[in-house]
Amino acid sequence: MTLDLGGAVARFDGSTDLTVGLEEEFMLLDPATLDLVQRFEELRDAASREDPVLSASIAGELISSEIEIRSGRGEDFGDALRRQREMRARLFALAEGRGLALGATGTHPWADYRAQHNIDTEHYRRVVEGLQYVARRNNTWSLHVHVGLRGLDRAVRVCDRLRPVLPVLLAVSANSPFVDALDSGLHSARTQTFTKSFPRCGIPDAYGGWEAYREYLEFLVATGSIVEDTQVWWSVRPHLTFGTVEVRICDAQSTAPESEALCALMIACVAQAARDHDEHVPFSDPPRRAVEENLWRAIRYGLDGRLIDLDTWAEFPAAAVVDRLLAWTAPVRAEHGLEPSFPALNGAQRQRRALAAGATREEVFAESVRETRQTYVQEASTL
């Protein structure tokens, strides 16, 4: 197969700046035991019969115990959020009507990945056949945003500028301390399980523009490494089908306000990077090894650790990252009404504090699932 690279250029030429798409992934759970259950196909088929609006928003994600909802294209963040809240309301109603609960952390605390079934689509058959254990081991849940940007060369350059921002966003979003019935010792076990294991994933190289990125994709096709561009899983990438910059570094969020705040922050980062590019604000691509050092610190310690300022090479408390990102993005946030607000502790911090206070892993997860139901349904009800 070959990629439609000419079509990708045309799609980005016709793209509109700062249109927005949101993607949220949820676990399918037995409400009594909170174990994963293999019922994606059942929900998908039920939505097809009973709720065509929701059906158009549903997507599968590798395993049958996971479901994703997508806002579709919103003209701005507010429009996309209204669409996504409606999809949440429909999804929670559909799931609860069939005796299912929904969870939203980056990993399930105790599920055995060997017991999970992969969904039967051409794309995921290809993923599992190609990656084997790496794919089957990937039982993770995340939060993605798409931001429209005009011009493919510009979009690649904006992705370059976002490379050092990725670990910072991960630290803010960290929400997966448990995996395989273990306390992983990490704040984002999802990132270690997925991002650090899949090929062509995590922190991308700095390409400098579309020509170099196109050559990279052509190399992958010519050497039989990929047959579709979505097999390039970088944590920020130009999405060649949608004409967007896609940011895909964050853990799934246990509460709707945190999910919405993270979406607003990611959108603001893309918009500010585009503004900086357009206004020729000086930027030097940091070495990938330096960005990877921050990525590891975000995986291990989240907001409880220290990150490295890649301009000064000095450490700073990771807890300061939100204020730093808000300061950098202040110009575009003011223009577009993006005002994300975060709780004092993120998901991983809350779970770790509860565990340290004597709660069991099961009790910690149950509280997370309760937060998810309460806040996502509540946010949906504000339509």
pLDDT digits (tens, 9 = 90+) for 3-50: 888 899 999 999 999 999 999 999 999 999 999 999 999 999 999 999
263 touches 85 (CB < 8 A) = no
Q: Which two tokens stand for residue 219?
A: 């190399």
pLDDT for position 224? 94
Nearest to 79 by CA among 17, 22, 142, 143: 22
Pairing between β-strand 178-179 and β-strand 142-148 as defined by DSSP bridges = unpaired
Task: Compute the distance between CA of residue 174 and CA of residue 295 in angstroms, rounded to an integer.
Answer: 11
Rounded to whole angstroms, how far apart are CA atoms 149 and 93? 34
The pLDDT of residue 251:
98
pLDDT value at position 1?
A: 46
pTM of the model: 0.96
* CATH code at position 243: 3.30.590.20
List the domain range (segments joined by +) for residue 226.
5-380
pLDDT at residue 9, as a whole number: 96
Q: What are phi and psi of 26, to 5 degrees?
A: -130, 150
Residue recorded with tokens 């998908």: 44
- The tens digit of pLDDT for each residue in 348-382 reads 999 999 999 999 999 999 999 999 999 998 765 55
Amino acid at 102: L
Regions of the chain short of the pLDDT cut 50? 1
Tally of structural domains, the chain: 1
> Which ranges of the chain would DSSP assign to H, the alpha helix?
5-13, 40-50, 52-55, 77-97, 122-131, 133-136, 152-162, 166-173, 189-190, 210-222, 256-278, 288-301, 321-328, 330-336, 347-356, 361-380
